[in-house]
Structure 1
Amino acid sequence: MIALVRYMFTVLLFSQRYLAPLLLFLGLVAVLTSSDTGPLTATYASVAGAMLPCSVWLTMALIGLEDQAHRSVVVVSAGSHLRVLLATVGTATVWCLLLTAAGLVLPLLFGAHTPGLADLALGTEAQLTCAFTGMAIGLVCSRLVFRRQGHALVLALGLLLAVLLGKGVSPVNIMFTRLQNAPDSTDALVPTGVLLAVAAGFLVVGAAVTQAITLRKA
């Protein structure tokens, strides 16, 4: 599995398809946190919001790297469709962890903050909550599910709006509402951790749906 993740990471790296979502993330973080002096709860909520569309984009780009013939070769070499899908999720997670590290540090450089461990932990939880939710959307809107990427893009945009704006529909919307009213990072750690677990469940469901459709098409 590690070798498969390494392979996919390298293919995405050399394809340079990570550049667009990476630049989007960095640009959004710079705009949203530049000269910011407010509480880090709100700051890291903004960074997490930037993570959401970028994780969707990264996941869809990763799955779309290879055509059907090349993917079939990878599946045969790996031994099953499931192993390839799990490696895809693992690779997307590695990229999102790298973005998370950048999302923790950049607001401290762009603004005036004195972070504590609770702030950094909350920032990690918030970004991973959005990353897992975005990866779930990216999976069900990928080429594995939709042959026509125009339809997939429309669905991805619709799901992004739903998880962002739907009151109580997703862990992302609930998290943003709570972080806006959180007095400090310590009080928000446990509720955000619960929402992170829910987002991980979303990712598991998204992977299961994608795997079922992939096997049906095979």
Structure 2
Amino acid sequence: MGSQTEQIVDNIVREIEQGLLMPGDVLEEKALVGKFGVSRTPVREALLQLDALGILRRKARGGAEVFKPNLEEFLAILEVNAKLEGHAAGLAARRLSAEDGRALEQAVRDCDGHLAEHGETEPDRYYLANLNFHRLVAISSHNPVLLETIKINARKLMAYYRARYRYKGSIPKSALEHRKIAELIMDRDPTAAEEMMVTHVMFDSVTAMDLIAVLSRT
């Protein structure tokens, strides 16, 4: 079991991943102290760590706010994340093990299965299958530094990636692209796998503006 600070960090990150904390939500130190049954010190240390990662932004009078990017920040982070995930796909195509391949194939089947069973409904459930696919591609790169960097960067935009699947046509498109990316990785085509992953991860500017507008009202 980790330290109190590590447990608080893990809990807050998990709540962001699950959509329980949204961009702009405020975390007050006093409330966190009561929630976790700890002193202010580990709470402050946890908020400082998450601020350093760019996941939260500390407030001048204590507490923090879940990172809420403006359009320029959003597009800049997205651009970096697309390149990171593309690089992971390219490395995976060169380094994929038999075990990696089986796990990746199952992740693709899970996405296909959601589409077959639920169609375009239950987008939050599909998002979890999507997360697992991207996680396994990154793991298959066999580069732990790259894996951790992708995790940190992607967490800043999780709410926006989740909201993306509320748009008509996004789930079928995503599932199809997952299948194609996996095939390129398994065919050992690093250049094509990287290029397709970059395209897959990027939003067009209109969708980005729509997502920012929608989540700003939630």
Q: TM-score, normalised by structure 2?
A: 0.32
Structure number with the higher helix fraction is 1
Q: TM-score, normalised by structure 1?
A: 0.32
